[in-house]
Structure formats: structure tokens, C-alpha cells
């Protein structure tokens, strides 16, 4: 199962340059170079299957379901730390805004940790919770000298 945004970022996008190849092109070529033609065919088949309608995708989470997920996370945090964890999850979701689920989870955990450790309420904005890029380094596929 693949998250559609990750699939689009990794398998359909190239790198920064216009002549760059995306993973669907580059990986089969590298497989041929390193492991013969059959490996390239296997990788092409994999990518064709992965982007076809046969590959299940994860649909975006509705806000109500995100709130429910984060409320469960609040309960788990309280159990793990043996404290009465409390957090206005709906407010946190509104303040973080339209971000990936992992950003909301991270904001929830950081707010709970701050409340547990310092008894402080924390208000996050998504700009303070920047996620790393899912793109590979340009030299990742470079041959060692």
C-alpha cells in the first residue's frame, strides 16, 4: 500500500534539472547495468504495477478521523508517562493546518512532551514543524570511484 502523495513525489517527479530521470526510469536502467536485463524487466514491471489501478492507495484522512487518531495518541502518551495528559486536539489541528499526518502527530507529541516536562501549553504553527524532503541526494546513484 502506498500513500499517493509519496508515490507522486518519488516515482513521478524528476530531480531539480530538466534532464533528470525519475525513479521509474532510473532504477530499471541501473538494474540492467548492475544485474543484467532480467533485473531491469523486473523493476519496470514493479513500477508499472505500483502506478496502476491495481495498487491500493491511502486516501487523505478526514479531519474528524485525524482528531480521533490524535486523541488516542494523547491517551497513549498519558499511559506511557503515567500522567493525566490533556490536549485540545481540535485546536492543534486547526493551528497546524493542512499538513501531512506525520506533522500533526509530531506536533501532538511535542505539545504533550512540553506539557509533561514543563507544564507549559505550546502552540505550533506548521512553519515550526518543517518535514524533511523525500527526494534523494543527487549523488545517491553515483558509482564509487
| pLDDT band, residue 21 (cuts 50/70/90) | low
Q: What is the rounded CA–CA span in Å between residue 136 and residue 24?
A: 14
| pLDDT band, residue 1 (cuts 50/70/90) | very low
Residue 18 has pLDDT above 50, yes or no: no
Domain chopping of the chain, boundaries: 2-58, 63-128
pLDDT at position 61 is 85
Q: Which one has a higher pLDDT value, 108 or 19? A: 108
Written as one string, the DSSP assignment of 31-51 is: HHHHH-HHHHHHHHHHHHHHT
Range picked from 17-21, 52-56, 95-99, 137-141 for highest mean pLDDT? 95-99
pLDDT at position 50 is 80
Residues in CB range of 138: below 8 A, 6 or more apart: 15, 16
What's the mean pLDDT in 113-117? 93
pLDDT tens digit string along 23-78? 888 889 999 999 999 999 999 998 888 878 777 777 788 999 999 999 999 999 99
Residue 12 has pLDDT above 90, yes or no: no
Q: What is the rounded CA–CA span in Å between residue 139 and residue 109?
A: 34
Amino acid at each position: 500500500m502506498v500513500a499517493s502523495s509519496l508515490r507522486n513525489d518519488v516515482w513521478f517527479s524528476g530531480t531539480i534539472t530538466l534532464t533528470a530521470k525519475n525513479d521509474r526510469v532510473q532504477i530499471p536502467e541501473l538494474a540492467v547495468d548492475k544485474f543484467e536485463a532480467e533485473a531491469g524487466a523486473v523493476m519496470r514491471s514493479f513500477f508499472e504495477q505500483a502506478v496502476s489501478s491495481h495498487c491500493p492507495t491511502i486516501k487523505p484522512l478526514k479531519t474528524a478521523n485525524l482528531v480521533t487518531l490524535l486523541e488516542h495518541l494523547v491517551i497513549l502518551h498519558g499511559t506511557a508517562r503515567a500522567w493525566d495528559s490533556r490536549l485540545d486536539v481540535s485546536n492543534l489541528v486547526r493551528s497546524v493546518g493542512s499538513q501531512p499526518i506525520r506533522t500533526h502527530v509530531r506536533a501532538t507529541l511535542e505539545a504533550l512532551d512540553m506539557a509533561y516536562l514543563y507544564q507549559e501549553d505550546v502552540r505550533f504553527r506548521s512553519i515550526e514543524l518543517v518535514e524533511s524532503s523525500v527526494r534523494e541526494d543527487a549523488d545517491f546513484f553515483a558509482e564509487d570511484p
